[in-house]
C-alpha cells in the first residue's frame, strides 16, 4: 500500500506540473491573436499609422519566430527551468508596459519585448514537460495536451480580447496576463524540475542577428510598399533584408552547429510538414484579423457580439487538435495532411460571398470548416517533421516545426495583410492608406464610405482566394511527395 502511494505521487506531481506549464503556453499563443478584435479600439486610442498598426500586430510573432531556436539552444546550455522563470517574469513586465502604453511606438516596443520573452517559453516549456513524464505513453498524451493548449490559445485570443473590451479599456487584453504569470512563478519552483544541459557550446550571435534583422527589413519593405507604393529607399531596404537572409542561409550550411539545420529540408516529407506548419497559420492569422475589422468596422457589429461569433470556430479547432492523433492513426499521416489543406481551402473559399452589406453566416461557416483543417495542421506538423528525420536530429526538427508556426502567424499578417492593404489602396477612395484611416477622416460623404467598405471587402476576398489556392497547391504537392503508410514502412 505504501509503495503504491509512493509511485502515485510523482504521477500526480507531473500532471500538476503540466497544468502549471499550460498557463504560459496559453498566454504566448493567445497574445499572437488577442489584438485581432482589439485593433479598432487601439486605433481609436493611439491613432497609429498604417505601418504602425501592422507592426503592432505582427512584431510579436516575428520576434518569437526569429528567436525561438536561439533560446532553445540557450536553454539547452544554461538550464530550461531557469530560462522559463526569467521568460515568464519578463513576459509579465512587458504585458504591464503594453497595457499602459500611450503611443504606438511604445506599444510596438512592449510587444517586441513580449515576443522576446515568448521565445524563451515554448522550447523550455516543452523540454521541462518531457522531463516530467518518463513513461512514453504519458509523455505522448501530455505533449498532445500541450499542442491542443497552444492551438486553443491562438483560437480563443480574439474571443477573449473581445469580451475584455466589452467591459474594460483596450489595455486589459495585456493586463489579463499578470494573474497567470504570478501563479506560475509561485508554483513552478515547487512542481517543476530543472532539465540538465544537453547541448554545450556557444550560440552563434551573427546567425541570430542576420535572421532577425534580415526578416524584419524584408517584411518592412513589403508592408511599406503595399501601403504607400514603391519607393527607391523602400526597395533598397528590402534588398538589404534579402541579402542578409541569403547570408544567414549560407552561414548555416557552413556551421557545425547551426541555428537551423537546412540539411533537413532535403527530405520531402519534412519539407511538407514545415510548410504545413507555416501556411495554415499565415492564412488563419490574416483572415482572422481582417474578419475582425470586417465584422466591427464594415458591418458595425459590437465587440462582444463579434467575439461570440468567433467561438464556434475556436471550439471546433480545439476539439480537432485533441482528436487528431486518433484520426491520424486510422487514416494515416498522408491522408490527414491532404485533408488538412483541402479543408482549409474550402473554409477560406466560404469568405468569397461576404459583402459590405452582410455575411455573418458565411463567416461562421468559414471558421467552422477551416477550423477542422487548422486543428489537424497544429497537431500533426511536429510529429510528421520528427518522424521524417533520423533520431539524432529530432530536436532540430521539432524546433524548426515550432518556428514555422510562429513565423507563419507573423507572415500571414505581414504579407497577406499587405495584400489586402494594396487592394484597398488600388480600389479605395485614395484618401488614406488603409480602411481605418479613411473612415476616420472628417466629413466623408456616404458614397465615399461605401466605396471604402467595398474596397476593404474586396481585399478580404482576394486574401481568402489567394490563401485558398495556396492550400490546394500544397495539398496536391502532399499527394505527390508524402508516401502512403505502406510505402513508408517498406
* 310/288 Cα distance (integer angstroms): 9
* 424/459 Cα distance (integer angstroms): 6
Confidence of residue 71 (pLDDT cuts 50, 70, 90): confident
Residue 427 has pLDDT above 80, yes or no: yes
More confident residue, 10 or 384: 384
Residue 373 has pLDDT above 50, yes or no: yes
* 109/86 Cα distance (integer angstroms): 19
User: Of 177, 183, 146, which is closest to residue 161 (Cα–Cα)?
Assistant: 177
How many helices (H) does the chain have, and how many strands (E)?
20, 0
pLDDT at 150: 72
pLDDT at 198: 52
How many beta carbons lie within 10 A of that of residue 383, not counting itself?
Answer: 20
Dihedral sign for Cα atoms in the order 404, 408, 337, 27: positive
Q: Which three cell numbers stand for residue 340?
A: 488538412
- Read off the pLDDT of each residue in 343-369 and give the average, rounded to a whole number: 94
pLDDT at 139: 66
Q: Which three cell numbers stand for residue 196?
A: 540538465
The mean-pLDDT minimum among 64-68, 282-286, 486-490 falls in 486-490
The distance from CA 365 to its chain's CA centroid, rounded to whole angstroms, is: 22
Per-residue pLDDT reduced to its tens digit, 379-389: 788 778 877 87
pLDDT at 193: 73
Burial of 86 (0-12, 13-18, 19+ CB in 10 A): middle
How many beta carbons lie within 10 A of that of residue 139, not counting itself?
Answer: 16
Confidence of residue 6 (pLDDT cuts 50, 70, 90): very low
* 184/180 Cα distance (integer angstroms): 6
Contact 292, 35 (CB under 8 A): no
pLDDT at 1: 41
**Cβ neighbours for 311, distance < 8 A, ≥ 6 positions apart:** 159
- Read off the pLDDT of each residue in 135-152 and give the average, rounded to a whole number: 68
Kindly compute the dihedral angle of the four CA atoms of residues 36, 37, 43, 49, in this order, to the nearest 10 degrees.
Answer: 20
Confidence of residue 368 (pLDDT cuts 50, 70, 90): very high
pLDDT at 194: 67
pLDDT at 53: 80
- Read off the pLDDT of each residue in 203-222 and give the average, rounded to a whole number: 82
Please state, rounded to an integer, the average pLDDT across all residues of the chain.
Answer: 82
Per-residue pLDDT reduced to its tens digit, 396-412: 677 787 777 767 776 78
Per-residue pLDDT reduced to its tens digit, 282-336: 898 889 888 888 988 899 888 778 878 888 887 888 788 778 878 888 888 899 9
Biggest distance spanned by C-alpha atoms of the chain: 81
User: Of 158, 468, 152, which is closest to residue 309 (Cα–Cα)?
Assistant: 158
Query: If phi over 0 gives left and psi between -120 and 50 gives alpha, with beta otherwise, what is residue 135?
Result: beta
**Cβ neighbours for 42, distance < 8 A, ≥ 6 positions apart:** 35, 48, 53, 56, 107, 170
* 359/368 Cα distance (integer angstroms): 14
pLDDT at 395: 64
Per-residue pLDDT reduced to its tens digit, 109-138: 999 999 888 888 776 776 677 677 766 666
355 phi and psi angles, rounded to 5 deg: -140, 170
More confident residue, 187 or 463: 463
pTM above 0.85, yes or no: no
Residue 261 has pLDDT above 70, yes or no: yes
* 309/303 Cα distance (integer angstroms): 10
Confidence of residue 143 (pLDDT cuts 50, 70, 90): low
The mean-pLDDT minimum among 130-144, 206-220, 470-484 falls in 130-144
Residue with cell 497544468: 19
β-bridge mates for residue 358, sequence order: 355
**Cβ neighbours for 133, distance < 8 A, ≥ 6 positions apart:** 14, 18, 139, 142
Q: Which three cell numbers stand for residue 141?
A: 498524451
365 phi and psi angles, rounded to 5 deg: -60, -40
DSSP 8-class letter at 197? P
For the chain, the straight-line distance linking the first and the last C-alpha, in angstroms and rounded, comes to 48
User: Of 447, 449, 456, 446, which is closest to residue 426 (Cα–Cα)?
Assistant: 456
More confident residue, 123 or 198: 123
Q: Which three cell numbers stand for residue 486?
A: 505502406
358 phi and psi angles, rounded to 5 deg: 165, 160
- Read off the pLDDT of each residue in 31-45 and give the average, rounded to a whole number: 77
pLDDT at 457: 95
Confidence of residue 343 (pLDDT cuts 50, 70, 90): very high
Confidence of residue 160 (pLDDT cuts 50, 70, 90): confident
Amino acid at each position: 500500500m505504501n509503495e503504491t502511494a509512493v509511485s502515485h505521487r510523482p504521477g500526480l506531481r507531473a500532471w500538476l506540473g503540466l497544468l502549471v506549464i499550460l498557463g504560459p503556453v496559453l498566454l504566448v499563443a493567445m497574445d499572437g491573436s488577442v489584438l485581432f478584435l482589439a485593433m479598432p479600439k487601439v486605433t481609436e486610442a493611439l491613432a497609429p499609422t498604417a505601418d504602425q498598426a501592422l507592426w503592432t500586430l505582427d512584431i510579436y510573432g516575428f520576434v518569437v519566430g526569429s528567436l525561438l531556436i536561439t533560446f532553445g539552444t540557450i536553454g539547452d546550455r544554461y538550464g530550461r527551468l531557469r530560462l522559463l522563470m526569467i521568460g515568464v517574469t519578463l513576459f509579465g513586465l512587458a504585458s504591464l508596459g503594453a497595457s499602459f502604453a500611450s503611443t504606438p511606438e511604445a506599444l510596438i516596443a512592449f510587444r517586441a519585448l513580449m515576443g522576446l520573452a515568448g521565445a524563451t517559453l515554448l522550447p523550455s516549456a516543452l523540454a521541462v514537460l518531457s522531463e516530467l513524464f518518463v513513461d512514453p505513453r504519458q509523455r505522448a498524451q501530455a505533449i498532445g495536451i500541450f499542442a491542443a493548449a497552444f492551438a486553443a490559445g491562438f483560437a480563443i485570443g480574439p474571443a477573449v480580447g473581445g469580451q475584455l473590451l466589452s467591459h474594460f479599456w483596450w489595455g486589459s487584453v495585456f493586463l489579463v496576463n499578470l494573474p497567470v504569470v504570478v501563479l506560475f512563478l509561485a508554483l513552478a519552483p515547487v512542481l517543476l524540475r530543472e532539465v540538465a544541459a544537453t547541448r554545450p557550446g556557444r550560440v552563434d550571435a551573427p546567425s541570430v542577428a542576420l535572421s532577425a534583422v534580415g526578416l524584419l527589413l524584408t517584411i518592412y519593405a513589403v508592408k511599406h510598399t503595399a501601403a504607400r507604393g514603391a519607393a527607391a529607399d523602400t526597395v533598397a531596404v528590402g534588398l538589404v533584408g534579402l541579402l542578409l537572409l541569403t547570408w544567414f542561409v549560407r552561414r548555416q550550411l557552413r556551421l557545425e552547429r547551426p541555428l537551423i539545420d537546412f540539411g533537413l529540408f532535403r527530405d520531402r516529407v519534412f519539407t511538407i510538414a514545415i510548410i504545413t506548419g507555416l501556411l495554415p497559420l499565415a492564412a488563419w492569422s490574416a483572415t482572422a484579423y481582417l474578419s475582425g475589422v470586417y465584422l466591427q468596422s464594415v458591418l458595425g457589429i459590437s465587440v462582444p457580439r463579434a467575439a461570440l461569433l468567433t467561438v464556434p470556430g475556436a471550439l471546433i479547432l480545439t476539439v480537432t487538435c485533441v482528436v487528431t492523433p486518433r484520426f491520424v492513426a486510422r487514416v494515416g499521416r498522408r491522408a490527414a495532411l491532404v485533408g488538412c489543406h483541402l479543408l482549409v481551402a474550402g473554409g477560406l473559399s466560404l469568405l468569397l460571398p461576404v459583402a459590405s452589406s452582410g455575411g455573418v453566416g458565411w463567416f461562421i461557416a468559414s471558421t467552422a470548416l477551416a477550423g477542422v483543417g487548422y486543428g489537424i495542421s497544429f497537431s500533426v506538423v511536429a510529429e510528421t517533421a520528427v518522424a521524417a528525420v533520423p533520431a539524432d536530429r529530432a530536436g532540430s526538427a521539432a524546433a524548426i516545426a515550432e518556428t514555422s508556426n510562429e513565423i507563419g502567424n507573423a507572415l500571414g499578417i505581414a504579407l497577406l495583410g499587405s495584400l489586402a492593404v494594396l487592394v484597398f489602396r488600388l480600389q479605395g477612395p485614395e484618401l488614406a492608406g488603409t480602411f481605418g484611416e479613411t473612415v476616420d477622416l472628417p466629413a466623408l460623404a456616404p458614397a465615399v464610405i461605401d466605396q471604402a467598405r467595398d474596397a476593404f471587402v474586396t481585399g478580404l476576398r482576394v486574401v481568402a482566394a489567394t490563401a485558398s489556392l495556396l492550400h490546394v497547391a500544397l495539398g496536391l504537392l502532399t499527394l505527390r511527395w508524402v508516401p502512403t503508410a505502406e510505402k513508408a514502412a517498406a
